[in-house]
Chain A
Amino acid sequence: DIVMTQSPDSLAVSLGERATISCKSSQSLLNNSNNKTHLAWYQQKPGQPPKLLIYWASTRDSGVPDRFSGSASGADFTLTISSLQAEDVAVYYCQQFYGTWTFGQGTKVEVK
């Protein structure tokens, strides 16, 4: 199975500041048949189901604010919130869908 490792486990960021979450996969997630990177990011607020934020490593889902962005470098992935808002407090998960699906352990984002 492909292992996804997120860091940090939690971080506290001041409102309006940048939040950066890392995710590493145990192998490449680049699918050569479609030339796409099979990685997604989800946001889960307390008491709610997960919500898709980003897929193909860097494509924002419909309606997701542009302060959320995703990037990839080999097997290293980053989710950036450019200017943290109070409503962004949540746990964020990366997920690979290159093989049968696995999630990172989650990163809890709080306001400092």
Chain B
Amino acid sequence: EVQLVESGGGLVKPGGSLTLSCAASGFTFDTYAMNWVRQAPGKGLEWVSSISSGSTYMYYADSVKGRFTVSKDNARNSLYLRMDGLRAEDTAVYYCARELRHCTAGTCSLSFFDLWGRGTLVTVSS
């Protein structure tokens, strides 16, 4: 079955750290870029971070730059998000999402997210 399963969420104090994982199955993980998207309680979607298929390129939203680190282990079919310096405003459900970039003449364009996990909740509170 083609799926993404997030784990690692929980309750953490402000200033603390947490690492989220996303396990992929049913597709060729190393051909896809991957993303993290979060959703604060009752709010909309916010893109957080992206990593290219071979981990060459990483992108971050300004709101998490310098605090979050994305990584991808193609051998383990897994995506990770290391979150440091957590703040109350980081409280959200974190989704991992698959992205197939289209490349023409060696240039790859950003793309849409065609598969999402069910998410893992991160709560930052004292």
Chain A interface residues toward B at CB < 8 A: 1, 31, 33-34, 36, 38, 40, 42, 44, 48-52, 55, 61, 91, 93, 95, 97-106
| A38 in contact with B110 given A50-B116, A100-B50 (CB within 8 Å) | yes
A-B contact count (CB 8 A): 67
Chain B interface residues toward A at CB < 8 A: 35, 37, 44-47, 50, 59, 61-62, 95, 102, 104, 107, 109-119
Residue of A nearest to B119 (CB): A49
Bound CA–CA A15/B30 (angstroms): 43
Please give the distance in Å from B43's CB to the nearest CB on chain A: 9
Please give the distance in Å from A91's CB to the nearest CB on chain B: 8
Interface SS of chain A: loop
Flag if B116 contacts A106 (CB, 8 Å): no
Partner of B114, one of A33, A44, A49, A52: A52
Flag if A97 contacts B112 (CB, 8 Å): yes
Flag if B47 contacts A31 (CB, 8 Å): no
Flag if A34 contacts B117 (CB, 8 Å): no
- CB neighbours (8 Å) of A95 from chain B are 45, 112-113
Partner of B44, one of A34, A40, A93: A93
